[in-house]
Amino acid sequence: MQKKSVSQQAEFKLAAHQQTVEDSLKTLREQDVISRIWVHDHTVWKPQPTEISNRLGWLKSPETMAGQLPEIDAFVENVRAEGFTHVLLLGMGGSSLAPEVFRLTFGAKAGYLDLAVLDSTDPGAVLACDRALNLAKTLIVVSTKSGGTIETLSAFKYFYNRTAAVVGDNHVGSHFVAITDPGSGLEALAQELNFRQIFLNDANIGGRFSVLSFFGLVPAALVGVDVQELLARTAQMAQECMSAPNDLHTNPGASLGAVMGALAKAGRDKVTLISSPQIASFGAWVEQLVAESTGKEGVGILPVATEPPGAPDVYADDRVFVYLQMQGDVSHDNQIAALEQAGFPIIRYQLDDRLDLGKEFFKWEIATAVACYFLGINPFDQPNVESAKAQAKKMMAAYQESGELPKMTASAHDGRITIYSDFGGKTAAEAVQNFLQLARSSQDGPRPYVSLQAYLPTTPATEDALNLLASTIRDRFQIAVTYGYGPRFLHSTGQLHKGDAGNGLFIQLTADMPENISIPEKAGTVASSISFAVLKMAQALGDRQALLDNNRRVLCLDLGSDIVGGLEHLTQVVQ
């Protein structure tokens, strides 16, 4: 059966914004924006080519990666034949989010490797991976574009030593694979340590646009995804995204980008993604793509990808909804109908099956680039990300000099939660209530949003508690609420937090780390000068300082030893 074109699978209900979007599509046609993107014209976004001309390789990924499939397939068959049963991917941001989507969406096909992703410096998370995996049958993929990502290399050194202890020094290299850019430090290290294979990616592809390159497709193939069919469908989408957008149905990427850009300028700068349960993990990938691309130079589009749908009255007029619906799934139809009836702009996309995600990846990449055209910003740089890294390095340097990290001064302790606040309050209840009242204060510019920054171990119980807290704040204050785990979110939404209009309210959550492990200074040696717990806390302190340096409003709460209980207490406070 012939596949339907993407235009046949999209529905736009834009209410009062229809003419605004049509005017934006007209601008795209008159300025020849789409064809200029495809010929790598940097002036679509900025007068200078810096971090634009060398970041457009993703446009050809569906075509170029089809030619790389024989290499990927041979590699996968080789590791299967050798008896590997699991793969542990070490990466951050664009290197980890796409592989996670593939695993959570497709599972692990019978006879292929099961995938775990480690994108955390939490010692509990590192140890959980270690304890869950039989390292004798585990392939470890070290994935970083720059080759120098501190979280990834710290985890690599730990697992290199642990794997060597299990399989012996002579065989440890065969358990490791690198995905990186040519000439990176990781390429040299992988050669030195005799890695099984090194996949060198196109250097002209930025991290968050790398899902359809080696960074996403090698892990996808390892778990048994039909990568050939995925790319074939993506190529269909790429073809449709080359045409001038005569209307909302002639270029899917341009149309979505026009809606995102035009409505953000009109005050609807919160793109809220609602997905069928089978593809819910796709939202985390969209979150990084949109947040890191659009949040800079005092503007930004906030992607909201983790909240469950609510009734129309819990949303303000800063929302646009995108509904990704698997064919036959009606899980969210009633909520979407209610939102449409209430006059919210809604875009609905229908996917025939999970492999249509290939189309969605490419469409959202084009859409994000187009939205940034309307916002007047470069979609491919991340000017504020480095600030948190620099501050974390300062914290670690202080630790290595004095033996302890810089300490914050607590403003109060209520027996359960320690509070670090400049907004008053002798208890967590008072501190949170005072802080969230800032959401009600009138201000120029975009409506506020709340970001819960959870430097906490990722567990099902913590996830449920965070989700409930976020939903409760949203319902009480009619405000967008997102949450992310640190340091993972630093490689995702961290750019937007520091680069947008400054309308965020940031609640940083930390807790005790009952377990800790050392980070080897070098793979194959036991010498260590820092632990995972110190690195994680340095990153939390560094990000807090970077937010403050950018005049952001921050409330820090340490939950002590009872993480779930503390989150439940905060939820009761908000209610």
Among residues 243, 246, 248, 270, the alpha carbon closest in space to that of 12 is found at 248
* Range of weakest confidence among 290-299, 311-320, 357-366, 438-447: 438-447
Calculate what percentage of the chain has a pLDDT beyond 70: 98
Nearest C-alpha neighbor of 394 from the set 546, 549, 542: 542
For the residues 475-497, what does the mean pLDDT come to? Answer: 96
**Nearest-angstrom CA–CA distance, 153 and 186:** 9
For residues 84 and 116, membership in a common domain is answered with yes
Last residue of a domain, one of 164, 190, 225: 225
193-208 pLDDT per residue, tens: 999 999 999 999 999 9
CA proximity to 63, closest of 252, 231, 237:
231
Q: In CATH, what number is assigned to the domain containing residue 191?
A: 3.40.50.10490
Whether 442 maps to a domain, the answer reads yes
Q: How far apart are CA 59 and CA 365, in angstroms?
A: 9
Residues 15 and 140 reside in one and the same domain: no
Residue 135 per-residue DSSP state: G
- 121 and 103 assigned to the same domain: yes
Query: What confidence tens digit (pLDDT) does each residue in 490-499 have?
Result: 999 999 999 9
pTM for the structure as a whole: 0.96
565 shares its domain with 442: yes
Q: What is the mean pLDDT of the chain?
A: 95
Residue 536 is which amino acid? K
pLDDT at 1 (0 to 100): 37
The 10s digit of each residue's pLDDT in 516-543 is 999 999 999 999 999 999 999 999 999 9
Tokens of 552: 């952001």
Q: What is the per-residue pLDDT for 442?
A: 61
| 541 and 467 share one domain | yes
Q: Quick check: is 380 in a domain?
A: no
Q: Is residue 49 part of a domain?
A: no
Mean pLDDT of 105-109: 98
* Domain boundary, last residue among 375, 406, 422: 375
Residue 458 near residue 126 (C-beta atoms within 8 A): no
How high is the pLDDT of residue 445?
A: 81
Residue 231 domain flag: no
Whether residue 5 is predicted with pLDDT greater than 90 in this model: the reply is no
> 215 and 263 share a domain?
no
Q: Which of 375, 396, 425 is at the close of a domain?
A: 375
Distance between the two ends of the chain, CA-based, in angstroms? Answer: 52
Q: Would the CA dihedral through 252, 253, 256, 261 be positive or negative?
A: negative
In this predicted structure, the answer to whether residue 13 has a pLDDT above a threshold of 70 is yes
Q: At what angle do helices 282-294 and 97-106 cross, to 10 degrees?
A: 160
pLDDT at 6 > cutoff 70 = no
In whole angstroms, give the CA distance from residue 490 to residue 411.
26
390 and 363 in a single domain? The answer is: no
In order of 29, 110, 115, 365, the CA distances from 53 in angstroms are: 22, 42, 34, 16
Number of domains in the chain: 3
pLDDT at 3: 52
552, 477: one domain = yes
**Model pLDDT, residue 184:** 98
Rounded CA-CA distance 377/389 in Å is: 23
User: Is 90 exceeded by the pLDDT of residue 188?
Assistant: yes
Phi-psi bin for 32: left (phi > 0), alpha (psi -120 to 50), beta? left
Asked if residue 524 belongs to a domain, the reply is yes
Summarised one tens digit per residue, pLDDT across range 371-381 is: 999 999 999 99
Residues 507 and 401 in one domain: yes
Q: Is 310 exposed, middle or buried (0-12, 13-18, 19+ CB in 10 A)?
A: middle
Least confident piece of the model among 114-123, 212-221, 391-400: 391-400
Strands (E) in 342-479, as ranges, are 346-351, 412-413, 418-420, 449-454
Q: Indicate if 214 and 77 belong to the same structural domain.
A: yes
For residue 96, give both structure tokens: 């980890």
Examine the pLDDT at 464 and tell me if it is beyond 70. Answer: yes
Q: What average pLDDT does range 85-111 have in this prediction? A: 98
Task: Report the range of poorest mean pLDDT among 175-179, 244-248, 500-504.
Answer: 244-248
Residue of 135, 146, 246 whose CA lies nearest to 203: 146
What pLDDT, on the 0 to 100 scale, is given for residue 2?
A: 43
Do 213 and 74 lie in one domain? The reply is yes
Contact 388, 546 (CB under 8 A): yes
Task: Tell me which residue range forms the domain holding 94.
Answer: 68-225
**Domain shared by 72 and 164, yes or no:** yes
